A and B are shown apart, each in its own frame.
Chain A
């Protein structure tokens, strides 16, 4: 297939590890020779089948490696200055540019330090500074946040996003973490087995994933097998009403994201939600500011459904499970989304 990434866009690539995300990035950078197919920058041919036409050092591409690939024998200053030295810039100009970018990325204090003396965040910013200092045509980011502490990731993402937007820098970011993609990119593609299986805005991919694999990759999701009887999807004692005659399959997979459900102790009408039945709480845990509750339908202990809640619920208690009907994802047995009829699927409300 041919895909064009427009100028100034932040493009995200999501996919399981080992399915070719990094290889695609390396093909764009010129570090990998395509066995087949072409890479163009604007209208300029970069690589063709079996050969590199423009060597990586002449592509003016910058890449931030997963492990940052800082030169251990050089100080932060020399690391950032390296691409400029290679471009044979004057010493004065190099110094001006290095200090400017160091100022922007808060590296001024550590310019004389060696990489091994830096914190994870500083290393990452040094790698970013080294990539940006030469004003590249394209910025490639390969899992740039996976080696950072969780607490640092958000600020790092915000930084990359700000820089990308300010400079209108064409950016391609590869990650297995949907948070990276959602926080930075305008358009995202999902790669499975070396092929793009869905391309769209991050919100599209999150809301209407084409397959169950994409649904899992783009965020937490409960995938539950259901039987369809008389326009109702049955998961043990849970009943999800469906539009008349819209689903012809007898068996479907229902996708429910934990943040699109609610648990209530007493039945109660809440706008935008429908009650689908009673469940029993199995486990309550707390991560990243929310409670994650694992529940099972009353009649089947073996089905686990994860629900996000804003309060602790004691295990063993029974509760009503409410879902947002417009957010429900229905896949057929082949795990493909039943779409575009989706929006008309739900009768209730």
Chain B
């Protein structure tokens, strides 16, 4: 009895230790980035990376935020990023959910429609974005939205719509089929079924997908790199890239740019992380998690 207890305590302690090690490993770069941004350039380049700054300085943040000379400050890219990412993520996930619902209800009546649909969605999701560089530029140019916000939104949308649909199609089966049938017998058409019955029930999954897609769009470097190359259209990841140094690396400014760029994802994870987890948990427990 007693020895069992000891074994349990030891097991628990080992587990905790492993978790602690992982947390430290994951947080170390974040910590280095945070403290590095508050160092002077000289100190950031010479002192050990994990030490706290001797002289606390906000110079690097000021420099990054407002820009200097030919370097574009991150202020406007940040606003741009928010103004484009939020509606694009929302639209992708809403339309993606609708698409997933369509394929879900086709599963029974016309299985081939949903099989082919899912294959296309998967293909679109897992196809490396780089392979679409030339067609995407050609397409946006031909409809006159290359180098515009619309072009950017369009590109994000077509990249992340299939991702959203695929993710939502994992969450949708949480809604039992008989509820859809019941709604149909109650006289509801698909539009009403989706908004009145499906959507409220997959809300946790919807939020998870929304958060995920938002973060994906936020950290997407490649799409804005090829679609919005004019400095006046710089998106945050592209703008932050300037501070990694063209001619010389200014470590404190790179760190500060990193912090500014990851600010929004960090806030989202801190405040909405539980919704993200809840959506995933709803998957495991069937409809009970809702």
Contact = CB atoms under 8 A, between A and B. Distances in A.
Interface string B269-290: 0000000000000000001001
Contact of A73 (B184, B188, B189, B201): B201
A58 B179 CA distance: 17
Interface in B204-250: none
B200 to A, nearest CB: 4
The interface size bin for chain B is: 20 to 34
Contacts of A87: 187
A319 to B, nearest CB: 50
- Looking at A29, A59, A72, the one whose CB has the most chain B CB atoms below 10 A away is A72
Contact of B201 (A56, A59, A72, A82): A72
Interface string A82-98: 11001100000000000
Nearest to A127: B182
A270 B267 CA distance: 88
Nearest to B186: A83
Nearest to A69: B182
Interface string A25-39: 000010101000000
A65 B201 CA distance: 19
Contact of B187 (A33, A65, A74, A86): A86
B185 A82 contact: no
Interface residues of A, number: 25
A73 B185 contact: no
Interface in A44-86: 55-63, 65, 67, 69, 71-74, 82-83, 86
Contacts of A130: 186
Given A65-B178, A65-B182, A73 B187 contact: no
Contact of A71 (B181, B185, B197): B197
Nearest to A87: B187
B141 interface: no
- Looking at B181, B182, B189, the one whose CB has the most chain A CB atoms below 10 A away is B182
Given A69-B182, A72-B201, A73-B200, A82 B188 contact: yes
Contacts of B287: 72
A69 B181 contact: yes
Interface of A: 29, 31, 33, 55-63, 65, 67, 69, 71-74, 82-83, 86-87, 130, 134
Closest 6 CB pairs of A and B: A69-B182, A73-B200, A86-B187, A83-B186, A69-B178, A86-B188
B192 interface: yes
Nearest to B179: A69
B183 A82 contact: yes
B185 A62 contact: yes
Given A73-B201, A86-B188, A87-B187, A63 B182 contact: yes
25 contacts: A29-B181, A31-B181, A31-B185, A55-B184, A56-B181, A56-B185, A57-B184, A57-B186, A57-B188, A61-B185, A63-B185, A65-B181, A69-B176, A69-B178, A69-B179, A69-B181, A71-B179, A71-B182, A71-B183, A71-B196, A71-B197, A72-B201, A74-B196, A87-B187, A134-B187
Q: Secondary structure of the A side of the interface?
A: loop
- Looking at B178, B185, B189, the one whose CB has the most chain A CB atoms below 10 A away is B185
Contacts of A57: 184-189
Contact of B185 (A29, A33, A67, A72): A29
A130 B182 CA distance: 10
B178 A134 contact: no
Interface in B158-195: 176, 178-179, 181-189, 192
Nearest to B178: A69
B182 A73 contact: no
A4 B186 CA distance: 24
B186 A82 contact: yes
B54 interface: no
Contacts of B188: 57, 82, 86
B290 A134 contact: no
B268 to A, nearest CB: 25
Nearest to A33: B109
B151 to A, nearest CB: 39
B189 A67 contact: no
Nearest to B287: A72
A62 B287 CA distance: 25
Contacts of A72: 201, 287, 290
Given A31-B181, A33-B109, A67-B178, A134 B186 contact: yes
A82 to B, nearest CB: 5
A131 to B, nearest CB: 8
